[in-house]
């Protein structure tokens, strides 16, 4: 991971890790004041938020409205998707009785974007099952601005951010030791604060702070060291973005259930563990990740929840206890691998920042956090969120366990994974505050 991070920072196309510039060189520090809005367009969910902040890291009020994105919009046209988003904001503002006020708007767009500035950037490609071809290459902030104008709203995007960046912003708002953020939800990704002089591919990049948040797009990480199985290859073949997002396909919520389904399907074909009633196992994506989690977390002595999921969702009635145990084992292995790979990725970032306790790699600057022999490791906070991480305690346990295993207990104690709630959206509103023209709150990171 560290080698690929260096390669991605050295040149565009130097690695499958894109290491994208975000132009975010100042993070909220708690002095922001006012009312800000944001839109969070991610994988399965879509949110509109209103955040009222007061000095001293106080969120006075926050309102979050969730809406599922209709499946057909993820495969339709750019205009339809952005009209849907703009109309949702419009009706939200109408209910707030706030539609005439010019407000700063944060736009969280959780897909790989090549940014030209903090408020503009073009879509590199879709992930997580979205496939609207005509959006690729377009400035997505402009697409939203156009849609906002079409529905008569006097609001424009002030900050266009990835969900990892929003999460980092909220994490940093509460705790200045927050240096990175990770999402483990439908997709997976991470961002962190890099020194501008280490971003070799952008010579002469100057920021007031000497730092910039880099969106790694680690979902696309690949290495011959990754333990790729036959099931990973079959899964990849089923997706619209073949040969891409390899790391994501081993870790995130969109895929874990399907990996387990592929394993169970092969077991059904090569043995009689499921009897004759296993036809449904040949349906791609029939076992969703929430069901995989429910199976793994069933701690009843007779595995009654496993029986229910098999019966109701996979149409496999009467699987004996022994078979149910086997199913739990498969779900466990898939979960454990995902958690351990994510933990390894986090250690990669810590290593790059010189905060993994080895004192090596990036310890050329004092701010990088490397420690001299005998010193206490420096406190490091990683903001983390995402439906899979937040909703699946077993995955969290495995991830924590792996962090301790790799870092050792002493260094692991200095690393806090801090869960933020709706950070991707609230953080975007805070970044809109930081980057709005009337704001004097910019504080270097």
Give me the active site residues, please. Answer: 47, 110, 163
Asked if 425 interacts with ligand BGC (CB under 6 A), we say no
> How many residues can be counted in the chain?
445
* Enclosing H/E stretch for 434: helix 423-435
Using CB under 6 A, which of 183, 268, 402, 406 touches ligand BGC? Answer: 183
* Span from 27-35, 92-100, 107-115, 341-349 in contact with ligand BGC (CB under 6 A): 107-115
In the bound state, the residue with its beta carbon closest to ligand BGC is 187
| CB of 74 vs ligand BGC, minimal distance in Å | 13
Interface with ligand BGC in residues 217-256 (CB under 6 A)? 217, 219, 248
Q: With respect to ligand BGC, which residue has the nearer C-beta, 41 or 319?
A: 41
Backbone dihedral angles phi then psi of residue 404, each to the nearest 5 degrees: -65, -40
Backbone dihedral angles phi then psi of residue 10, each to the nearest 5 degrees: -80, -40
Asked if 128 interacts with ligand BGC (CB under 6 A), we say yes
* CB burial readout 241-255, b (16+ within 10 A) else e: beebbbbbbbbbbbb
List helix spans (H) across 320-392. 321-352, 387-391
Q: With respect to ligand BGC, which residue has the nearer C-beta, 183 or 350?
A: 183
| CB of 218 vs ligand BGC, minimal distance in Å | 9
Using CB under 6 A, which of 23, 82, 107, 111 touches ligand BGC? Answer: 111
Q: Binding-site residue total for ligand BGC (CB under 6 A)? A: 18
Interface with ligand BGC in residues 191-220 (CB under 6 A)? 217, 219
Asked if 334 interacts with ligand BGC (CB under 6 A), we say no
Query: Cα 211 to the chain's mean position, in Å?
Result: 21
Asked if 369 interacts with ligand BGC (CB under 6 A), we say no
Q: What residue ranges in 101-245 does DSSP mark as E strands?
A: 104-109, 113-117, 120-123, 156-161, 178-184, 188-195, 211-215
| CB of 402 vs ligand BGC, minimal distance in Å | 20
DSSP, residue by residue, 292-336: HHHHHT--STT-HHHHHHHHHTT--TT--HHHHHHHHHHHHHHHH
**What contacts 409, CB < 8 A, 6 or more positions away?**
none
Q: With respect to ligand BGC, which residue has the nearer C-beta, 42 or 425?
A: 42
Q: With respect to ligand BGC, which residue has the nearer C-beta, 8 or 187?
A: 187
Asked if 258 interacts with ligand BGC (CB under 6 A), we say no
Asked if 422 interacts with ligand BGC (CB under 6 A), we say no
Asked if 163 interacts with ligand BGC (CB under 6 A), we say yes
Q: How would you classify the pairing of strands 20-21 and 58-68?
A: unpaired
Asked if 110 interacts with ligand BGC (CB under 6 A), we say yes
Asked if 108 interacts with ligand BGC (CB under 6 A), we say no
Asked if 40 interacts with ligand BGC (CB under 6 A), we say no
3-state secondary structure 152-194: CCCCEEEEEECHHHHHHHHHHHHCCCEEEEEEECCCEEEEEEE
Using CB under 6 A, which of 28, 187, 211, 253 touches ligand BGC? Answer: 187
Query: Cα 138 to the chain's mean position, in Å?
Result: 22
Using CB under 6 A, which of 31, 164, 335, 441 touches ligand BGC? Answer: 164
**Token output for 389:** 């991480």
- Residues lying near ligand BGC in the complex (CB under 6 A): 42-43, 110-112, 127-128, 162-164, 183, 185, 187-189, 217, 219, 248
């Amino acid at each position: 991971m560290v080698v690929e991070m260096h390669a991605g920072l050295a040149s565009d196309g130097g690695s499958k890790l894109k290491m994208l510039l975000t132009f975010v060189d100042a993070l909220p520090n708690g002095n922001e004041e006012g009312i800000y809005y944001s839109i969070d367009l991610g994988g399965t969910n879509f949110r509109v938020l209103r955040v009222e902040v007061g000095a001293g890291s106080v969120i006075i009020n926050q309102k979050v409205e969730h809406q599922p994105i209709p499946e057909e919009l993820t495969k339709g046209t750019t205009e339809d998707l952005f009209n849907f988003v703009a109309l949702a904001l419009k009706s939200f503002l109408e209910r707030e009785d706030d539609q005439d006020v010019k407000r700063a708007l944060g736009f969280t767009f959780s897909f790989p974007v090549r940014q030209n500035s903090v408020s503009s950037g073009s879509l590199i490609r879709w992930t997580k099952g979205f496939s609207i071809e005509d959006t690729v290459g377009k400035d997505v902030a402009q697409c939203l601005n156009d849609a906002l104008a079409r529905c008569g709203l006097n609001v424009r995007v002030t900050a266009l951010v990835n969900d990892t960046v929003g999460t980092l912003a909220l994490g940093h708002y509460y705790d200045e030791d927050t240096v990175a953020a990770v999402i483990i939800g439908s997709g997976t990704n991470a961002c962190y604060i890099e020194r501008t002089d280490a971003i070799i591919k952008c010579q002469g990049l100057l920021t007031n702070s000497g730092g910039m948040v880099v969106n790694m797009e680690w979902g696309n990480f690949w290495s011959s060291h990754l333990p790729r199985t036959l099931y990973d290859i079959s899964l990849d073949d089923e997706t619209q973005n073949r040969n891409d997002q390899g790391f994501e396909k081993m870790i995130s919520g969109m895929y874990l259930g399907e990996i387990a389904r592929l394993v169970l399907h092969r077991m059904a074909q090569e043995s009689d563990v499921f009897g004759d009633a296993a036809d449904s196992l040949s349906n791609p994506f029939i076992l969703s990740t929430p069901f995989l989690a429910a199976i793994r977390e069933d701690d009843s002595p007779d595995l009654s929840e496993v029986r229910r999921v098999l019966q109701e969702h996979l149409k496999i009635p009467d699987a004996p206890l022994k078979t149910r145990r086997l199913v739990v084992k498969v779900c466990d292995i898939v979960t454990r691998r995902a958690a351990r790979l994510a933990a390894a990725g986090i250690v990669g970032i810590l290593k790059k920042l010189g905060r993994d306790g080895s004192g090596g790699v990036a310890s050329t600057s004092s701010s990088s956090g490397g420690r001299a022999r005998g010193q206490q490791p420096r406190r490091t906070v990683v903001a983390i969120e995402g439906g899979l991480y937040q909703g699946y305690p077993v995955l969290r346990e495995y991830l924590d366990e792996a962090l301790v295993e790799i870092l050792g207990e002493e260094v692991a104690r200095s690393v806090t994974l801090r869960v933020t709630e709706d950070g991707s959206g609230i953080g975007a509103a805070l970044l809109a505050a930081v980057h709005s023209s009337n704001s004097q709150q910019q504080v270097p990171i």
